Amino acid sequence: MKSELTFTSNPINEAALAQAYAISETMGAVVRFIGVVRGSEGNNKIGSIEYEAFEPMARHQFELLFDALSQRWPIESVRLIHRIGVVPVNKPSLWVEVIAPHRAEAFDACQFLIDEMKQKV
C-alpha cells in the first residue's frame, strides 16, 4: 500500500489535492474526508484551534495506523494531510483520501483511520 503523510502550517488546498490523485484500473473507489474547525464546542464559541505535533512520534503512530489499514483492507493508497498551527473556524484541519477496490472498503478504512488517529496520535 502506498501512503503519504504531510504535516503543514499552510492552508490545505483541497482542489489541488483532489486533482493530484493516482489510481490504478483495478480500483473502484476514492473516499475523501475533510475535517474542518467548528465554531463552537458545546456552549463555547471557538474562533480557531491551534494544532501542535511532535512530528517524529506522530509519524511513527501514523505509520502503525497505515500498516493496520493495509492488513485489514486491500487499500491501494492513503493520503493524509494534517494542519499544524492556528486553523480558523470553517477551514480544513485534516484531509484524508483512501483508494480501494470497492466503496465499502474505502469508507471503512477511512473511518477506521480517523477514529484511531483521534485516539492514538
The DSSP result for 17-61, as a single string, is HHHT----TT--EEEEEEEE--SEETTEE-SEEEE---HHHHHHH
How confident is the model at residue 94, as a pLDDT?
Answer: 99
Residue 106 vs residues 21, 54, 112: alpha-carbon distances, Å: 15, 28, 10
How confident is the model at residue 92, as a pLDDT?
Answer: 99
CA atoms within 13 A on the CB side of 119: 8
How confident is the model at residue 15, as a pLDDT?
Answer: 96
Instruction: Give the residue ranges of the chain where pLDDT is below 50.
Output: none
How confident is the model at residue 89, as a pLDDT?
Answer: 98
Distance CA 108, CA 74 (A): 11
Which CATH superfamily does the domain covering 2-17+26-120 fall into? Molybdopterin biosynthesis MoaE subunit (3.90.1170.40)
Domain ranges of the chain: 2-17+26-120
